Amino acid sequence: MTPDDCILIAGAGPVGMTTALALAKAGIPVKLFDSLDHIPADHRASTLHPSSLMMVEDLGMTEKLLPRGIESPMFQFRDRVSDRIVVEFDYRDIADELTYPYALQVEQHKTIEVAWEIAREIDCFELIREREVIGVIQDDDGVKITVQAPDGSTETHTGRYLVGADGGRSIVRKALDIDFPGFTWEERFIIVSTYYDFEEAAGYRYRNYVAHPERWCAMIKVPGDESEGVWRALFPAFGNDPDEEVLSDEWIQARFAECYPYDPPYDLLHRNLYSVHQRVAATFAKGRVALAGDAAHVNNPLGGMGMNSGIHDGLNVAKKLEAAWHGGDHEALLARYDRQRRPMAEKYVQAQSINNKRMLQETDPKIREERLNELQQTRNDPDSNRAYLRRSSLVQMVEEADSIQ
Ligand SMILES: Cc1cc2nc3c(=O)[nH]c(=O)nc-3n(C[C@H](O)[C@H](O)[C@H](O)COP(=O)(O)OP(=O)(O)OC[C@H]3O[C@@H](n4cnc5c(N)ncnc54)[C@H](O)[C@@H]3O)c2cc1C
């Protein structure tokens, strides 16, 4: 094949859009394909960690994101059984290591919009919407993708390399026959939003995790469409209750009243029910193709690590492809990408998100008390507190990945 002189990217979510922006900023022509005709505004990731804010700064994104988000230096763990705030962590405790000593609460679609606003001004950036990638082949010289338009017609595009950032059900991953081992949690997760102010009512921070043996939950504040402030509650939905029942006002108000008994019933703005998986692809690179973001790894949302670590993948692989574009050995570079990012997905993203969930849902009263006490001790010991904050901000993961040759 004689490929066009560009890099192809499948998927214009937060990971694909940021990766494309990084490559275009480096002067490399990119063609980015998405099956949708718009940026979806559904309720997904809501937190940009300090590490991500530092990493997208060079792309010009952070200065545009800050006015659209809410600074959230603290996050809180609560225990609903003993009805207490167990511990609060504060990113300002490691302000000497962070340019931005807070997480930024900002809806995922706004992060995509900011990257797009910058990218569309760059000549070598091309976004092609309503084109679903349905086939991938590669040879020694390049990659060819087949894309399908809504009317069923197909076309092919070629490039030197391809990044599959096409989400958890990645066609690119499947076309390359890359295994995606892991498991799916038994319960589904439901996210519901309301205007009710839980900070004013009960001292919640903008990110809160609430432990309970049956009904653990999480509460997050995001800016909302008009920066009016919206609170998103996350609950587990156990059993085989039909979707309509779980999504009904009655079911949701009952969960709200149990978990947040301040002033129910609450006004309900949006709701979203979904299955949650913990999976990591068997490899993040094959030949001239790399996987990034949810295409490479998926996890539960407790800790807000999926989108953040996906953006970190994208920025890492963009550097490798930039070096390959200028004559570097792409196989060696992409093998290093895999060595740097895949173990991090296992060691940090999977381990921490699974740990967070297990702690919140612990049913044995003795073990749960021990775990919550450990968390308090972590906070009280300066070294452990620093180590914990470095892990949760994903700063440690980025440093460790970069140190791998
Ligand atoms: C329902 C849901 C709720 C979530 N909630 C949270 C949360 O509360 N907190 C949190 O931290 N994380 C959450 N996540 C995870 C977070 O949203 C993801 O980690 C993040 O979106 C990953 O970004 P991505 O760009 O890799 O993939 P995606 O955001 O999935 O983007 C993939 C893009 O590729 C496009 N695409 C897909 N297939 C093709 C194709 N074949 N051809 C062309 N384009 C294609 C899609 O249209 C989409 O634009 C949630 C995920 C889901 C699914």
**Chain centre distance of CA 228:** 23
pLDDT, tens digit, 9 for 90 and up, residues 311-332: 999 999 999 999 999 999 999 9
Q: Is the CA virtual torsion 47, 49, 50, 56 positive or negative?
A: negative
- Lookup: tokens for 217: 């939950």
Please report whether residue 133 resides in a domain: yes
Q: What is the secondary structure of 87-102 as a DSSP string? A: EEEEGGGGGGG-SS-S
pLDDT at 83: 87
Under DSSP, is residue 147 helix (H, G, I), strand (E, B) or coil?
strand
Of the pLDDT bands very low, low, confident and very high (cuts 50, 70, 90), residue 293 is very high
What atom in ligand 1 is closest to the CA of residue 46? 9
| Helix segments in 290-394, DSSP class H | 306-325, 330-344, 351-361, 365-380, 382-392
**Prior bond of 301 cis (ω within 30°):** no
Q: What interhelical angle do 382-392 and 365-380 show, nearest 10?
A: 100
Residue scoring higher pLDDT (109 or 80): 109
Residue carrying the six token digits 């990408």: 337
132 in ligand 1 pocket by Cβ < 6 Å?
Answer: yes
pLDDT, tens digit, 9 for 90 and up, residues 200-233: 999 999 999 999 998 899 999 999 998 899 999 9
What atom in ligand 1 is closest to the CA of residue 39? 49
356 in ligand 1 pocket by Cβ < 6 Å?
Answer: no
**Percentage of residues in the chain having pLDDT higher than 70:** 100
DSSP single-letter state for residue 349: I
Residue type, 301: P
Dist. CA 113 → ligand 1 center (Å): 14
Measured distance CA(328)–CA(97) in Å, rounded: 32
| CB contact set of 176 (below 8 Å; sequence gap of 6+) | 136, 164, 286, 289
164 in ligand 1 pocket by Cβ < 6 Å?
Answer: no
Has residue 124 got a pLDDT over 90? yes
Q: Mean per-residue pLDDT for 28-54? A: 96
pLDDT at 43: 87
Residue type, 360: L
Residue 290 · residue 284 · CB < 8 Å: yes
50 in ligand 1 pocket by Cβ < 6 Å?
Answer: no
Please report whether residue 24 resides in a domain: yes
Residue 131 · residue 34 · CB < 8 Å: yes
306 in ligand 1 pocket by Cβ < 6 Å?
Answer: yes
pLDDT at 64: 98
pLDDT, tens digit, 9 for 90 and up, residues 349-376: 888 899 889 989 999 989 999 999 999 9
pLDDT at 56: 98
Residue 319 · residue 201 · CB < 8 Å: no
Measured distance CA(172)–CA(178) in Å, rounded: 9
Has residue 137 got a pLDDT over 90? yes
Measured distance CA(23)–CA(43) in Å, rounded: 28
14 in ligand 1 pocket by Cβ < 6 Å?
Answer: yes
130 in ligand 1 pocket by Cβ < 6 Å?
Answer: no
Measured distance CA(330)–CA(319) in Å, rounded: 11
Please report whether residue 246 resides in a domain: no
Give the CATH number of the domain where residue 156 resides: 3.50.50.60
Please report whether residue 223 resides in a domain: no
pLDDT at 214: 85
Looking only at the bridges linking them, the beta strands covering 277-280 and 297-298 are antiparallel
Alpha carbons within 13 A on the beta-carbon side of 320: 31
Dist. CA 14 → ligand 1 center (Å): 8
pLDDT, tens digit, 9 for 90 and up, residues 73-102: 999 999 998 889 999 999 999 999 999 999
Dist. CA 19 → ligand 1 center (Å): 14
**Chain centre distance of CA 214:** 26
Strand partners, 79: 84, 211
Of the pLDDT bands very low, low, confident and very high (cuts 50, 70, 90), residue 240 is confident
Of the pLDDT bands very low, low, confident and very high (cuts 50, 70, 90), residue 156 is very high
Has residue 238 got a pLDDT over 90? no
Q: Return the top range by mean pLDDT from 143-157, 260-274, 358-372.
A: 143-157
- Lookup: tokens for 39: 């940026």
Looking only at the bridges linking them, the beta strands covering 285-286 and 289-291 are antiparallel
What is the enclosing helix (H) or strand (E) of 182?
strand 182-184
Range of the domain at 115: 7-72+100-182+279-360
Domains held by the chain: number: 1
Output the CA–CA distances (angstroms, integers) from residue 142 to 145, 160, 260, 330, in the order listed. Answer: 10, 4, 55, 11
Has residue 239 got a pLDDT over 90? no
Dist. CA 374 → ligand 1 center (Å): 33
pLDDT at 74: 97
pLDDT, tens digit, 9 for 90 and up, residues 185-199: 998 999 999 999 999
Please report whether residue 297 resides in a domain: yes
pLDDT at 199: 95
pLDDT at 60: 98
Residue type, 180: F
Dist. CA 13 → ligand 1 center (Å): 6
Q: Is the CA virtual torsion 114, 222, 57, 322 positive or negative?
A: negative
Measured distance CA(155)–CA(22) in Å, rounded: 26
Residue type, 356: N
167 in ligand 1 pocket by Cβ < 6 Å?
Answer: yes
pLDDT averaged over every residue in the chain: 95
171 in ligand 1 pocket by Cβ < 6 Å?
Answer: yes
Please report whether residue 110 resides in a domain: yes
Query: pTM for the full model?
Result: 0.96
Has residue 153 got a pLDDT over 90? yes
309 in ligand 1 pocket by Cβ < 6 Å?
Answer: no
Please report whether residue 167 resides in a domain: yes
Please report whether residue 301 resides in a domain: yes
Protein residue with its CA nearest to atom 10 in ligand 1: 45
Protein residue with its CA nearest to atom 11 in ligand 1: 304
- Lookup: tokens for 281: 């692809």
